[in-house]
Amino acid sequence: MTLDTTPMGTAVRIVSIEGSDVLTLRLMEMGMVPGAPARVVKSAPLGDPIQICLGDYHLALRRNEARTITVALCD
Amino acid sequence: MSAATETLSGSQVRPPSFQDLRRPLTVAVAGNPNTGKTSLFNTLTGLRQKVANYPGVTVESKLGQWSLAPDCLVRVIDLPGLYSLEATSLDEQIARDVLLGRTAKIARPDVVIVTVDATNLTRNLYLATQLIETELPMVVALTMFDLAERSKLRIDVTKLSEALGVSVVPVVAKRRGGIDDLGRAVLSAAAAGTRQKPDWCFAIPNPNGSRLVSNTSRESWQELLTARYRWIEKVVAEATDSDATRQASISERIDAFVTHKFLGPVILVLVMLLIFQTIFSWANLPMNLIDHVFSALGAGLRTHFPPGILTDLLVDGVIAGVGGVLVFLPQILLLFLFITLLEDSGYMARAAFLMDRLMRAFGLHGKAFVPLLSSFACAVPGIMATRTIENPKDRLATIMIAPFMSCSARLPVYTLMIAAFFSGQKVLGFISLGALMILGMYLLGIGVAIIVAWMLKHTILNAPSPPFMMELPPYRLPNFANVAHTLLARVGVFLKQAGTVIMAISILMWVLVTFPRASATEAGNDHATRVENSYAGQAGRLIEPVIAPLGFDWKIGIALISSFAARETVISTLSIVYRVGDDSGAESTSLVAAMRKAKRADGSTVWTPLVALSLMVFFVLACQCMSTVAIVRRETNSWRWPLFMISYMLVLAYVASLITYQGGRLLGPG
């Protein structure tokens, strides 16, 4: 499952990021490392970008980038 | 403060290496964006600070002085926020270069205070641990400590400090809590000098100093980065104890309205409406007050000084010119007040979140929303705010269209034209025509900006759409001191501008309008003839054939020429040309009245509503601002872009003004 298709409000964990080097580096620096807890909060009125709760803070991300992030459901 | 003083005066404690420095200590405040960095900087320095000024400075950072102890004044630099030493935006590069001593003009700081948001430890410690690895003397300032306590997050500061290997000081900037401790920690860090490398190190090897991801295999840097986070998570887990009611939940509840599918855009429109309403109605009272003060000043000078050229210069040149511009200080203050409040409360990020999809349709980035909104106050800070946009082509496109946002300097022009030719008229019986016209001018600027952005992004600035990644910081009550500091800085810049550039131009225009003086014996030696024969009049006559199709006569031409330095000078120039400072009767003192009475050679009136509209359109689109040109030159590091900007905007302004005037004449009787 990728982050752009994750249903709103579902608690997930980051598995991996398959984006470009620069994008992946920044996402990981912002805390999107494998195992980090995340949750899709909502999408903007026009459907894009989406708001993600990542650990202790919130991040806005476009669906294009969210698509590169693989996540797994929390047990 | 007393504790710090005691410690410092004890001779055995006084750090010897600090004494040997024999120069003031330089401390840089660094940290993630939205971590209370600027609050801390303001608390440390109070009013002893300055924003490095616009033209000619390569690094924009706030400098201040912190009287850390008696006889110990410390230079403090407030750096732009950054998430990592692997800078992706220009803002981050600037901060990193100062921290690593790569900036030619700014010496490497002696001590770095890194702000760490106590409510978001893990991500904040990412940058902090990177900085600790640089071996620079360092102190961690744990900000938002009161918020962490309130959300029942207990942080064991000693444990955190032991794990990191540097002092950790909790601070509550607005109550000055922890500031003395921070001072002591900074002094002992300075005394200790360069630290040992910590026994943990996750720095990604980067031998060439270039972007590290190209030097190291993807697997290896991902592994190191993850290891750093694992280590931080372990440290945080050991040093904190939480009853886990996340502070973010309040922000989420506010967001339920503010970024709601339907309510969100409605609120955004209402917020913008409130801003404009305030600027146009509430600002009137102080504006009238300032206007009266300057009128009285001019009249007073006339009565107390002997008539002559010096009095003319003072009243018609200096007072009419500078006063005409200072009147707009309340409007400018209110606009900046709103923008600062929106920024500090966390709303700006939400606005960018709401607008990103729409902005992308025009090839722009959601992050461009904030700089463009700021440009409604002034394009200069707006253009500087584009530094947060990572992609250079997106940043350039945003810079190129920022001057189309109707800035506060255009307001006086619109206000004057409306007061003179459209005041008191209503549409549908209750909407003021003036307000509608101003809204129209703003929309014209936005519309043209969108078209130009789209064209630029599909031609010379074509690039794939960059990733959009933006923190949505928790909502916070704006800090009063921060807002006051920002406003004071803005007032300072504006007053400086009014006192220097605008005064100089006012005097210059007065001279050009007054000389050469026709001899007194000549027939028809009234003001109008004198202006016509003056240097300015000759220049106005020279360009009259070019601007006549726009509906402008040579007197407006004089005002146009002077307005290319700064838009608001058009008013001071018109005041001088129409000799408004001359106090020969209650009615004739008003510029509005003078403009209404002005006649062409053939006896027809110069100013018709259509001429006023044509002039307003010209002012929406033309790039008449030296400061903007200077800042674009600096931010793009070339003359190519500012020259391109001046020329294409001038062409657009001319064409649009031509269409307005000639089209209007075809449709009706002028």
Nearest CA among B589, B625, B639 for reference residue B323: B589
Nearest CA among B648, B668, B607, B271 for reference residue B453: B648
Confidence of residue B374 (pLDDT cuts 50, 70, 90): confident
Q: How far is B83 from chain A (nearest CA, A)?
A: 7
Partner A, chain B 176-215, Cβ-Cβ below 8 Å: 211, 213-214
**Which of A8, A33, A41, A64 best probes binding to B when mutated, by most B CB atoms within 10 angstroms?**
A33
Q: How far is A73 from chain B (nearest CA, A)?
A: 20
Confidence of residue B330 (pLDDT cuts 50, 70, 90): confident
| Contact yes or no for B470 and A22 at CB 8 A | no
| Contact yes or no for A60 and B251 at CB 8 A | no
Residue with more model confidence, B456 or B499: B456
B466 interfacial to chain A (CB closer than 8 Å): no
Q: Which of B59-63, B237-241, B336-340, B423-427 has the least mean pLDDT? A: B59-63
pLDDT of residue B449: 94
| Contact yes or no for B366 and A49 at CB 8 A | yes
B470 interfacial to chain A (CB closer than 8 Å): yes
pLDDT tens digits along B178-208:
899 999 999 999 988 887 778 778 877 664 4
pLDDT of residue B2: 40
Whether the predicted pLDDT of B224 surpasses 80: yes
Interval B442-460 mean pLDDT: 91
ipTM summary value: 0.95
Whether the predicted pLDDT of B667 surpasses 50: yes
Instruction: Confirm if B148 and B119 have CB atoms less than 8 A apart.
Output: yes
Q: Which of B96-100, B264-268, B486-490, B646-650 has the least mean pLDDT? A: B486-490
Which amino acid, residue B89? S
**Which of A14, A23, A58 best probes binding to B when mutated, by most B CB atoms within 10 angstroms?**
A58
pLDDT of residue B284: 74
Interval B329-340 mean pLDDT: 79
- Residues in A closer than 8 angstroms to B121, CB to CB, are 56
- Residues in A closer than 8 angstroms to B265, CB to CB, are 45
Instruction: Confirm if B488 and B337 have CB atoms less than 8 A apart.
Output: no
Residue with more model confidence, B152 or A7: A7
How many Cβ atoms from other residues are within 10 Å of residue B122's Cβ? 20
| Under-70 pLDDT residues of chain A | none
A18 interfacial to chain B (CB closer than 8 Å): no
Mean of per-residue pLDDT scores for chain B: 81
Instruction: Confirm if B411 and B328 have CB atoms less than 8 A apart.
Output: yes
Whether the predicted pLDDT of B53 surpasses 50: no
Q: Rounded to an integer, what distance in angstroms lies between the CA atom of residue B139 and that of residue B117?
A: 14
φ and ψ of B381, to 5 deg: -65, -30
Whether the predicted pLDDT of B6 surpasses 50: no
| Contact yes or no for B469 and A59 at CB 8 A | yes
pLDDT tens digits along B71-108:
788 889 888 889 999 888 878 888 888 888 887 777 78
Residue with more model confidence, B546 or B520: B546
**Which of B120, B245, B468, B475 best probes binding to A when mutated, by most A CB atoms within 10 angstroms?**
B468
Instruction: Confirm if B642 and B636 have CB atoms less than 8 A apart.
Output: yes
Q: Rounded to an integer, what distance in angstroms lies between the CA atom of residue B431 and that of residue B426?
A: 5
| Contact yes or no for A22 and B259 at CB 8 A | no
Instruction: Confirm if B433 and B427 have CB atoms less than 8 A apart.
Output: yes
Using a pLDDT cut of 70, give the percent of chain B over it: 86
Instruction: Confirm if B645 and B624 have CB atoms less than 8 A apart.
Output: no
How many Cβ atoms from other residues are within 10 Å of residue B57's Cβ? 12
pLDDT of residue A58: 93
Instruction: Confirm if B355 and B369 have CB atoms less than 8 A apart.
Output: yes
Confidence of residue B125 (pLDDT cuts 50, 70, 90): very high
Minimum Cα–Cα distance from A30: chain B residue: B123
Interval B136-142 mean pLDDT: 94
| Mode of pairing for the β-strands spanning B72-78 and A69-73 | unpaired
pLDDT of residue A48: 86
pLDDT tens digits along B556-610:
998 888 887 778 778 878 887 887 654 444 333 477 888 888 887 787 888 889 9
Which amino acid, residue B269? V
- Whether the CA torsion B418, B371, A47, A51 is positive or negative: it is negative
pLDDT of residue B13: 41
pLDDT of residue B214: 60
- Compare CB distances from B471 to A21, A29, A59 and report the shortest one's residue: A59
pLDDT of residue B243: 67
Q: Please, which residues have CB within 8 angstroms of residue B196's CB and are 6 or more apart in sequence?
A: B135, B165
pLDDT of residue B344: 85
- Residues in A closer than 8 angstroms to B358, CB to CB, are 46
- Residues in A closer than 8 angstroms to B225, CB to CB, are 25, 28-29, 33
| Mode of pairing for the β-strands spanning B138-143 and B111-117 | parallel
- Residues in A closer than 8 angstroms to B262, CB to CB, are 45
Interval B394-402 mean pLDDT: 92
Triad B452, B454, B460: Cα angle to 5°: 85
φ and ψ of A62, to 5 deg: -80, 155
- Residues in A closer than 8 angstroms to B266, CB to CB, are none
Whether the predicted pLDDT of B219 surpasses 80: yes
Instruction: Give all strands of the β-sheet with B26-31 in edge-to-edge order.
Output: B49-51, B62-69, B72-78, B26-31, B111-117, B138-143, B167-170
pLDDT of residue B8: 36
Q: Which stretches within B282-391 are classed as H helix?
A: 284-304, 309-312, 320-326, 329-345, 347-361, 369-375, 379-385
Max mean pLDDT range (B14-28, B416-430, B468-482, B505-519): B468-482
Q: Which stretches within B155-194 are classed as H helix?
A: 157-164, 179-192
Full 3-state SS string of B380-391:
HHHHHHHHHCCC
**Which of B355, B357, B389 best probes binding to A when mutated, by most A CB atoms within 10 angstroms?**
B357
Cα-only R_g, chain B: 29
Q: How far is CA B31 from CA B99, B129, B170, B289, in A?
A: 11, 11, 15, 43
Partner B, chain A 32-61, Cβ-Cβ below 8 Å: 33-34, 36, 41-42, 44-49, 51, 53, 55-61
Cα-only R_g, chain A: 11
Q: Which two tokens stand for residue A30?
A: 């912002």
Residue B56 burial (C-beta neighbours within 10 Å; 0-12, 13-18, 19+): exposed
- Compare CB distances from B357 to A44, A53, A57 and report the shortest one's residue: A44
Helix (H) or strand (E) holding B432: strand B431-432
Q: Rounded to an integer, what distance in angstroms lies between the CA atom of residue A25 and that of residue A36?
A: 15
pLDDT of residue B587: 39
- Residues in B closer than 8 angstroms to A66, CB to CB, are none
